[in-house]
Amino acid sequence: MGIKAVAVYSDVDACSLHVRLADEARHIGPSLSSESYLVVDKIIEAALETSADAIHPGYGFLAENPALARSCIVNDIKFIGPPPEVLHAMGEKTIAKRMMTKIGIPVIPGIDNPVESAAEARGIAQQFGYPIILKASMGGGGLGMRIVRNEWEIESAFRSAQSEALAAFGSDSVFMEKYIGQPRHIEFQILADSLGNVIHLGERDCTIQRRHQKLLEESPSPVMDEKLRHEMGEASIEAAKTTGYQSAGTVEFLLDENRKFYFMEMNARIQVEHPVTEMVTGIDLIKEQIRIAQGEKLSIDQKDIKPNGWAIECRINAEDPFKGFIPNPGRIESIRFPLGPGIRVDTAVFDGYEIPRQYDSLIAKVIAHDKDRKSAITKMECALTEMKIKGIKSTKEFHLALIRNRNFRKSQYDTYFVEKNIDNLRDDLKMESKMAAIASVIDVFLYTQRISTKKNDFDGSREGATKSTWKLSSRLKTKKKK
């Protein structure tokens, strides 16, 4: 777009890719995010020092913090996101639920006000029946959430949810909802300008999760039909108009086994998984965000949105899937990314990059796009196979096991698919590791056979060596088929 970019960075991010690529960079403090990226005054100071016209908050840290949006207004800086009052309303989930209820959008049965004590939670649970779910009133990303299946779990679950919510969002406020069994997690991408125009760009299926953290996303959803897409899309547009929303955002729903949808929350920011929508629509969502912030009218209408093909995203993290997905920070010795038509990789890492302990362990988002779901899955399988990471453990092989799973390919899963199938997926993962080791041994053996064959050429005995190699190859093919 011809706009110069200023990067801000903490101590540990001094050599990061975004710092290297930016036109200018400003150091804003120590590695701890609470002393750098989460300090509004430091962000504003960096913008003023460099005469920046606008601040794009990304999808983490301060992206949904009204304080940053308000400070931008005070300092005559454009905040590339919704107005502060919208951030406040959508950040407080109980307020958002009341607004949706008022305009007739289905919400998950529960209460609209924060729960003050475990005793109060127990009384409400008796009213709605178990299981119920406790959720942090502020924030998102699956933090501060606890499923409670009986009254004996209430006390510890309530304290745990409060503690995690306070640590993550600075507020220990939690509320309660009826737990929806076997749901799909469907979200709709919206764009809204300052002139009142709102459109949706179709849905993303984010059902594959682990502990409420998304692992894989795809667009469109394999369980969606045109009627349901229209109903949920219109509900998303109505939600945005009612709240006075501006910028890119996401309206998230749970879809139960009877195909009834419920409003869950609205994320007032760009999402981690936005690339799958960009791949199927051809629309650059960040460009649209910037244009909206500049006061421009949306460059597209609802009738212009014509999704093309299928896109899948895998979030590859520096985690050890054999040890409870514990983060595995450290130095990446080397990394090779997949290439080719329909493949996109969003990443900030490179050979020699040090995965920091202080932040999220995301290495890269690998996105595959093709004509249909089956083709996109095949392309993703090839991409993940081509991707090589040395020096740290990652979830790459786990994602391979996931997309090769029969039930995933048949789209027979819910948000607890990974938890319910973790042992089978790990077994598949171990088998992949064993097969890779066997393949390496075979490669070495065949290499020595070829060397031996060449040597035998000089002795006039090439035919015997070739037959020997051919017999070994035939046996291997037979075993592979079995």
Domain extents in the chain:
6-87, 109-178, 184-428, 437-481
Cis peptide before 220 (omega within 30 of 0): yes
Contact 61, 85 (CB under 8 A): no
Token pair for 65 = 């913090």
CA 418, CA 457: separation in Å to the nearest integer? Answer: 54
Q: How many residues does the chain have?
A: 482
| Cα gap 466→464, rounded to integer Å | 5
Burial of residue 471 (number of CB atoms within 10 Å: 0-12, 13-18, 19+): exposed
Sequence-distant (≥ 6) Cβ neighbours of residue 188 within 8 angstroms: 200, 201, 202, 203, 204, 232, 233, 236, 250, 251, 253
The correct answer on CATH 3.40.50.300 for the domain covering 109-178 is no
Q: Would the CATH topology of 109-178 be identical to that of 184-428?
A: no
Q: What tokens appear for 450 in the block?
A: 């070829």
Q: What pLDDT tens digit does each residue of the chain (482 aa) get?
A: 999 999 999 999 999 999 999 999 999 999 999 999 999 999 999 999 999 999 999 998 789 999 999 999 999 999 999 999 999 988 887 888 889 999 999 998 887 778 888 888 888 888 888 888 888 887 666 778 888 988 889 889 898 998 888 887 888 888 888 888 789 999 999 999 999 999 999 999 999 999 888 999 999 999 999 999 999 999 999 999 999 999 999 999 999 988 999 999 999 999 999 999 999 999 999 999 999 999 999 989 999 999 999 999 999 999 998 888 999 999 999 999 999 999 999 999 999 999 999 888 999 999 999 999 999 999 999 999 999 999 999 999 999 999 999 999 999 999 989 988 888 887 777 666 566 667 667 877 787 777 766 655 555 544 444 444 445 444 554 445 44
Q: What number of H helices and E strands is found in the chain?
A: 15, 23
Residue 3: CA count within 13 A, CB half-sphere: 15
Question: Is it true that domain 184-428 has CATH number 3.20.20.370?
Answer: no
Question: What would the CATH number be for the domain defined by 6-87?
Answer: 3.40.50.20
Nearest to 183 by CA among 252, 257, 251, 133: 257
User: Which residues are annotated as catalytic?
Assistant: 269
